[in-house]
Amino acid sequence: MSAVRRSLPFALSICLLAAPKAHGDTGVCAQLTDTLPALELSSDPQLELTADSVDASADGLSRLLGSVRLRQGDKELTADQLDFDEIERVVQIHAESLFRNRELTIRSSSAEFDLDDETGLFSGTEFVLPQRAARGDSREIRLSRAGTAELDGVRYTTCAPGSNAWYLEAGTIHLDHEEGLGTARNARLRLMGVPIFYAPWFQFPIDDRRRTGLLFPTIGRSDRTGWDYRQPVYLNLAPNYDATLTPRYMSDRGLQLNGEGRYLMPRAEGSMGYEYLESDNQNGETRAYGYFNHRGLISRRLGADIRFAEASDRRYFEDFGGNIDLSAITHLERSARFTYAAPAAYTVQMLFQDYQTIASNLATTDDPYQRLPQVRFDAITRNALWDTRAGVEGEYVNFARDNSTEGQRVDLHPFLRMEKDWLAWFIKSQIDFRYTAYQLANESALQSQNPDRALYSYSAEYGLRFERITDGGAVQTLEPHVFYLYTPYANQDDLPIFDSGEPDFDYTQLFARNRFSGADRISDANHMAIAVTGRHLDSQTGAELVSGSIGQLFRFTAPRVQLPDDSSPQQGATDFIGSLDYHLSETLSVGLDTQWSPENAEFSRSSVAMRYHSDLRTLQLAYRYRAGLLEQTDVLLATPLYNGVSMLGRWRYSLSDRQSLDTVAGLQYETCCWGVQAAYRRYVSNTAGDFNSGVYLQLELKGLARVGTGLQNLLPHSAVE
């Protein structure tokens, strides 16, 4: 056996990779992978030729026979026979050959290429684009110096070898690897052999780069919009910003124009959008919605968070939102927040905030107050003296709202905090002084113009940490926790209510320093909280297999401070607050949160959830109960049925109202290269309890196009991932 090595430039301008073996598409995705040894990158510009034998003639013609291999860098050619004209620098192959590198495979029955012009012609070809998991066949493939390929009489698909469930049939396809685009002319799209689409010209991606063009359209129908068709057009304006324009036609509403833009800067990011319907067919009104969000750094320590949203009317999301979550929006925020932070020392924050009320069942007097502005200052000493640090929290707010008591509030909160934390125990103690003063306008006859309040508080907290190793090697911990708070009573009836409310009584409220949110009300307190948390840990990974907490608050005296029209808690023990998180296995877990009244021997609030999630199936069962307010169940299921067919659905049901809140039922059929989804949905669409229903269809040809609205827009991501 002989070998030949020549120093010739090998400048083929396409990427070559070996063709795969054929497999049937049986529902298990066959991968378009190379069955030959992987190509190794090389910076060597020289051409290497090897063969079993070489027949060279005096006129510069050479014939290489038997296991012929040409190699330069990551490019490789293999054939049984090759003719090389050293004078014309042309390679000819009159037998089956294989070109490959990391981007493209071409197997041809004959080939010819010019090393100087860097052009080539392949006849009777099969090709593979492994980066897109795509393949096809072509009558001819022509290569150019610019790194493009021109294919004549071509078929293209992402289906696995042996399956042609769909394919693109075109007179010519132009593949540009530099741009990552394929351009088809005189193209016909066939599904199961049936032509479903024709286009004289269109482009499709052959890599994952963003580029300007049409995105997948969305088609559906609902009671509020009628037939709904959206055709997004993506504009790749620059590497760090883009835009999407979406004409939306609704048969019952009219033509709506939507625009959205995004940007990404070295220290900031944001998005903006606007939707406009000139004349709603239902009422003749102009309907619009716009928003702007920005978050970023102005300097190393100064950050900004800006949010703005506005809708033309209160029913906008009920009519155009499309799901129960959007229909439940009550307010749109408009705010600008600036934060200056010196780590571990102090933070200054300025906020300008307003809201637009969206819920149609809320009166103007229910609108939140505007903050024009709010300035907060938080500071704490860097170092501790005898485990004690001094700090201060301060706030100035100017509250404004039409037809209401308005005014300014100053709240000063200095404190001393002692903390000592050891491995087996910890202790904390804090002394607070709080002074709050107002300057009011539009005050009622029962209010003074400049009311104020001064209070001090004291708290002590102590906890232990126990740990043991079980006979099975797992780690168990037990952490009892005691918290005491004392705040004297001060009559606060002359103070306005700008931002105070009473949160739900949950586990975190056991250790809260004020029963109310905001600064308008400071609850008097003389109580102790006792709680315990236990955990069962995996000794190998440290993961929590079981964790549970239970606690109770005991009030030595009944609080007297209260909000208008609310009652104060009674003296004595409160309800028990408990939670449990139990991982029965890697796929199955159970969670529980509950509030139990020992006096009435009943649960006043509970939520239970079980979740099963594996590679194939997802099942979630949830129950929520709150005495006198709601009692709901929530069931979500996603599971394969048979041979690529899956079922997906969700059902939210109100036991107290005896009606469904949201029902989704869908079927999905999916293979490696295509899929179809069909779903029906009925859900509460507004605060009045009216229902909307819709039918959703989606066809996806993987690697080419997706048409319609899929289940991923109707269900949680975990159910359809």
- Report the pLDDT averaged over residues 353-365: 80
What's residue 257's pLDDT? 96
What's residue 460's pLDDT? 97
327-349 pLDDT tens trace: 567 889 999 999 999 887 899 99
- Report the pLDDT averaged over residues 214-243: 88
Residue 325 pLDDT > 60, yes or no? Answer: no
Residue 286 lies in a domain: no
The single-letter DSSP state of residue 327 is: H
Average pLDDT score, the chain: 86
Q: What's phi and psi for 689, nearest 5 deg?
A: 90, 10
| Residue reference for tokens 């003074």 | 448
What's residue 713's pLDDT? 60
Strand 544-555 relative to strand 53-56, pairing: unpaired
**Which one, of 612, 655, 669, 608, lies nearest residue 636 by Cα?**
612
Residue 117 lies in a domain: yes
Min mean pLDDT across 180-194, 247-261, 473-487 is at 180-194
What's residue 350's pLDDT? 98
480-533 pLDDT tens trace: 999 999 999 999 999 999 999 999 888 999 999 999 999 999 999 999 999 999
The pLDDT confidence band at residue 700, using thresholds 50, 70 and 90, is confident
Residue 24 pLDDT > 60, yes or no? Answer: no
Rounded-to-integer distance, Cα 172 and Cα 145, Å: 19
What's residue 23's pLDDT? 34
Beta bridge partners of 572: 555
- Report the pLDDT averaged over residues 449-461: 95
The pLDDT confidence band at residue 314, using thresholds 50, 70 and 90, is confident
The pLDDT confidence band at residue 549, using thresholds 50, 70 and 90, is very high
Residue 101 lies in a domain: yes
Residue 20 pLDDT > 60, yes or no? Answer: no
What's residue 7's pLDDT? 29
Residue 453 lies in a domain: no
28-62 pLDDT tens trace: 454 444 455 666 656 666 777 888 898 887 677 88
What's residue 273's pLDDT? 96
More confident residue, 454 or 12: 454
What's residue 85's pLDDT? 84
What's residue 716's pLDDT? 58
| pTM, entire model | 0.77
The single-letter DSSP state of residue 320 is: H
Min mean pLDDT across 25-39, 180-194, 422-436 is at 25-39
Percentage of residues in the chain having pLDDT higher than 70: 89
What's residue 711's pLDDT? 62
The single-letter DSSP state of residue 19 is: P
What's residue 39's pLDDT? 62
The pLDDT confidence band at residue 320, using thresholds 50, 70 and 90, is confident
Catalogue the long-range contacts made by 124-128 (C-beta closer than 8 Å, 24 or more residues apart).
125/151, 126/19, 127/19, 127/151, 128/17, 128/18, 128/19, 128/20, 128/32, 128/104
Residue 478 lies in a domain: no
Residue 151 lies in a domain: yes
What's residue 29's pLDDT? 54
156-165 pLDDT tens trace: 898 888 888 9
For residue 41 the two structure tokens come to 């990158």
Residue 67 region by backbone torsions, left for phi larger than 0, else alpha for psi between -120 and 50, else beta: left
Residue 703 pLDDT > 80, yes or no? Answer: no
What's residue 41's pLDDT? 59
**Which one, of 465, 439, 461, lies nearest residue 451 by Cα?**
439
Percentage of residues in the chain having pLDDT higher than 90: 53
The pLDDT confidence band at residue 448, using thresholds 50, 70 and 90, is confident
- Report the pLDDT averaged over residues 687-712: 76
Residue 131 lies in a domain: yes
The pLDDT confidence band at residue 10, using thresholds 50, 70 and 90, is very low
- Report the pLDDT averaged over residues 258-264: 96
Rounded-to-integer distance, Cα 162 and Cα 672, Å: 12
- Report the pLDDT averaged over residues 78-92: 86
For residue 708 the two structure tokens come to 């319609």
Residue 714 pLDDT > 90, yes or no? Answer: no
Min mean pLDDT across 208-217, 312-321, 323-332, 569-578 is at 323-332
Structural domain harbouring 113: 4-209
Q: Is the torsion defined by CA of 581, 586, 587, 588 positive or negative?
A: negative
Task: Give the torsion through C-alpha atoms of 168, 173, 178, 179, to 10 deg.
Answer: -60
Residue 6 pLDDT > 60, yes or no? Answer: no
- Report the pLDDT averaged over residues 602-617: 93
Residue type, 19: A
Domain count, the chain: 1
What's residue 21's pLDDT? 32
What's residue 9's pLDDT? 27
CATH at 35: 2.60.450.10
- Report the pLDDT averaged over residues 258-266: 96
Residue 464 lies in a domain: no
- Chain centroid to CA 528: 41
